[in-house]
Amino acid sequence: MKTIKSCIFSLLMFLATLTVYATVQRDNIVKGNKAYSAGSYSTAVDQYKKVVEAGYESPELYYNIGNSYFKLNDYANAILWYERAKRIDPGNEDIDFNLNVANTKISDKIEPLPELFYKRWLNAVILLFSVDTWATVSIIMFITALLCGVLYLASRVLILRKIGFWFGLGLLFIAGLSMVFAWSGYSFTRNTNEAIVFAPTITVKSSPDEKSTDLFVIHEGTKVRLLDNISGWYEIRIASGSVGWLPATSLEEI
């Protein structure tokens, strides 16, 4: 009996702690929103980041941090947080718009390599909805396919059996495709092999050594893909396809 009471007490204490924790984070977000509305953008960043440091993430939170940095004319940080928001909600038009505006404010205007049309279309479809939406579609399609299977097995009417069979197959295909899209979207959100340059101006090297050959110069706010990591250096590729090495201290991973 004492064990049951002890477990119940522990559960209540745990729930109370969660409630207090959620209340504190909500208060920080409210304070951040008020600071942003009042034009105190640095204070807004501080309040929002307290929530991030507590382990909470959401596209809206990251988007607000990006907006606050944009108002502070800190475009590198704005791009960083917009990119982080986009990873969670890749189809959000507001995030895309503000990210594009922020990218017009930085020095480097790098033309990306052309992408194969089918890859471009496939990525557009995958990023059309969030991971949760694709997963939900997959579950709904799978359950509906099971109902069609029941119709096929239970019905004695030939036309209904055909409908149940073919619709079931089609829905199973859509469910499987949606699950693939959900997994691809999830992989995209967890992909940490991109970073933002935070050095005002930096020379990309031919090898992970300060004395190596200078290749090209990039500036603060540029997004790069991380290819390798050796002794405090990253091998990077920019959107145009050029490759080189940068010190890890000059980059912030998305």
Look at residue 156 in the predicted model and tell me its pLDDT.
Answer: 87
Does residue 14 carry a pLDDT above 50?
Answer: no
Give the per-residue SS3 of 116-166.
Answer: CHHHHHHHHHHCCCCHHHHHHHHHHHHHHHHHHHHHHHHCCCHHHHHHHHH
Confidence band, pLDDT 50/70/90 cuts, at residue 11 = very low
DSSP 8-state symbol, 41 = H
DSSP 8-state symbol, 28 = H
Look at residue 185 in the predicted model and tell me its pLDDT.
Answer: 77
How remote is the C-alpha of 248 from its chain's centroid? 22
Does residue 20 carry a pLDDT above 80?
Answer: no
Look at residue 116 in the predicted model and tell me its pLDDT.
Answer: 75
Residue 125 main-chain phi, psi, to 5 deg: -70, -45
Q: Mind listing the pLDDT tens digit for each residue in 137-188?
A: 999 999 999 999 999 999 888 998 999 999 999 999 999 999 998 888 777 6
Does residue 12 carry a pLDDT above 70?
Answer: no
Q: Mind listing the pLDDT tens digit for each residue in 205-220?
A: 999 999 999 999 999 9
Look at residue 4 in the predicted model and tell me its pLDDT.
Answer: 53
Q: Mind listing the pLDDT tens digit for each residue in 47-58?
A: 999 999 998 889
| Long-range CB pairs of 186-192, under 8 A, 24+ apart, other chains included | 186/131, 188/87, 188/90, 188/126, 188/127, 189/87, 189/88, 189/90, 189/131, 191/87, 192/253, 192/254
Does residue 189 carry a pLDDT above 70?
Answer: no
Percent of the chain, pLDDT > 90? 66
Q: Do the Cβ atoms of 140 and 182 come closer than 8 Å?
A: no
Q: Mind listing the pLDDT tens digit for each residue in 24-37?
A: 688 999 999 999 99
Look at residue 23 in the predicted model and tell me its pLDDT.
Answer: 75
Percent of the chain, pLDDT > 70? 89
Look at residue 13 in the predicted model and tell me its pLDDT.
Answer: 46
Mean pLDDT of 128-135: 84
Look at residue 22 in the predicted model and tell me its pLDDT.
Answer: 66
Look at residue 110 in the predicted model and tell me its pLDDT.
Answer: 87
Q: Mind listing the pLDDT tens digit for each residue in 59-101?
A: 999 999 999 999 999 999 999 999 999 988 887 899 999 999 9
**By mean pLDDT, which of 117-121, 200-204, 242-246 is the weakest?**
117-121
